[in-house]
Every structure is written in C-alpha cells, then in structure tokens.
Amino acid sequence: MKSLVNRQLDFMGKRRVAFAISGLMLLVSIASLLFQQLNLGLDFTGGTLVEVRYAVAPSLDAVRQILEDTGFRDVSVQTFGASTEVLIRLQQAFDPDVGEQVVNLLRDAGDEVELVRAEFVGAQVGDQLRDQSGMGLLVALGIVMLYVAFRFQYKFAIGALLALMHDVIIVVGLFSLFQWEFDLTVLAALLAVIGYSLNDTIVVYDRIRETIRKSRIDDMPTIFNEAINMTLSRTLATSGTTLLVLLALLLLGGDMIHFFSIALIAGVVVGTFSSIYVAAALLLAVKLDREDLIPAKKEDPEAEELP
C-alpha cells in the first residue's frame, strides 16, 4: 500500500496552497464585480440591432471603424451565419432611420450593402433577461445540491455546491476584470460550465466514496490522493479533448461565439482545478469520515427482549 501511495501525486498535501490560490482568484473576481461590474451586452442593456448583407465578405474591423468614426458609440460587429451577413449592435436609443443611416455610411465607403432588418431591444427586456438568468443559475445550483446530497451525503453536497459557486464566480469575474462583453451566449456557457464541472466532481466523489469503503486505513488525505490519482488520467483526457474543441471554436468560430468559447475554456480549466482542490479538499475541511458512508444499523427489538 505504501509503495503505491509513494508513486502517486500528493494533491491533498498541497491543498492549503490551492486554497490560497482559489481565495485570491475569488477575491479579485468579487472586487472586480463590485467596483467595475460587468460589461453587459445588448441582450441585457437594450439598444439597436442592424443586420446588413454584403456582396463580398467585409472586414469587420473596417465596418466597426467606419461607424465609430461617424459618431456611433459602443459598436459591436460580427458575422451572422454566412460571412457576408453582418450583425451590428448599437447601444443607443432606437431611431427608425438608423438602418438606412448605417447602410448609407457603409455604401459611402465603397461597399455594396443592403439592409436586412433594423430593430430595437428594450431595456425592460434586458432587465427581465438578467433577473431570469440569475434565477436560473440559483435554481441550477440548488438542484445540484439536492442531487449530490441524495446520491452521496450532505457533506458531499456542501463541497460540490461551493466548488460550482467557485467556478461561476471566477469565470464571471474574468469577464468583469477584462471588461469582455457579457451576453446571453456567455450565460449559456456558464450553465454548460456548471454541468461540466459537476460531472467531473461526481466522478471524483464516486471514486472517493468507493475507496473509503474498500480501504482499511483511516488516513483520509491518503485515501483521497489514491482516489484522485485513479481518476486523474480520465480527468486530463476529458479536459484536454474538450479544450482542443473549444480552441478550434475560438480560433475558427467567428465573433458570434468568441466570448462563448472564452467562457467555456476558462470554465473547463477552473472546473478541472476545483474538482480536485476545492470539491475534494473541502471534504477534509468538513471532516468527512468512514462513519458518514456507513448506514446506521437498525436495532433488533426481538434481540432486546431476550434475557
């Protein structure tokens, strides 16, 4: 047993360093959210959407520069479907003539452009989306806690919930810190991060529970190290292949899913870290022991009546 453990990585021995790193990341994220807040996209703040169609695929940077040079502010430009379809987001009050104004400016630059649609997204809709999305995240976290408590034990549920909150806060904090645009695609990525991180945590928890039941020692850090090392190859393979796909989306997917890809990449990295150093290590902090996983024996009333 000792020779096996000695060849394993001592994850639990570094848990205090990992807690310090997590604490620092959480502190920076929360401070940024409090003082700098999020750079909310048009989905949440309201504004004007203008969709145009080019004869030849344009340079998005050039389109953005043309509009900014003529007085439009907070301009977001991205392809929408085909490379010749361009969606322009303007964070300003709606003007019925804004679509024609944008098209005329782009035509003056020498491009062949036609207007597809121009519409307004109201701030009231943005408020509803923000409130409903926040409630959706809370409901998802609550259901996760109930599921883990039912499948494992309430101490596992505490660890899983704190780990998921850790992942969400850090990913959102990154968007606040670097002022990346936070829109509905990023919100969808956050929900995907919750699912990914939970799946990874469940795999680790399942192996920890199994190892505790089979092991004859009571040294919990050693048992946890053995369980995590047994799942390490699976965790790294899953995270690695997922990151390869996400990097392809980031580099080739275009502006439409740019921040979606960034949110998922950050979530996979942070989620993999938290599955080991937050979700698992927190079980030591809440003093999980063998008795927590052994059902209490029912007393036999007939045995008590025997002399």
Q: For the chain, what is the total number of helices (H) and then of strands (E)?
A: 12, 6
**Is there a contact between 97 and 115 (Cβ–Cβ < 8 Å)?**
no
DSSP 148-202: HHHHS-HHHHHHHHHHHHHHHHHHHHHHHHTT-EE-HHHHHHHHHHHHHHHHHHH
Contact 93, 118 (CB under 8 A): no
Q: What is the pLDDT of residues 84-129, one digit of tens each?
A: 888 888 877 667 778 888 888 888 887 788 888 888 776 555 566 6
Query: Whole-angstrom Cα distance, residue 103 to residue 70?
Result: 13
Strands of the chain, DSSP E: 39-40, 47-54, 75-80, 82-90, 113-121, 181-182
Give residue-wise pLDDT tens across range 47-83: 788 888 888 888 888 888 888 888 787 787 877 777 7
Cα–Cα distance measured from residue 266 to residue 82, given in angstroms and rounded to the nearest whole number? 28
Q: Which residue has the higher pLDDT, 194 or 44?
A: 194
The closest of 307, 203, 216 to 1, measured between CA atoms, is: 216
98 secondary structure, DSSP code? H
Distance from C-alpha of 223 to C-alpha of 208, rounded to nearest angstrom: 7
Identify the pLDDT of residue 156.
83
Higher pLDDT, 163 or 297: 163
- What pTM did the predictor assign? 0.77
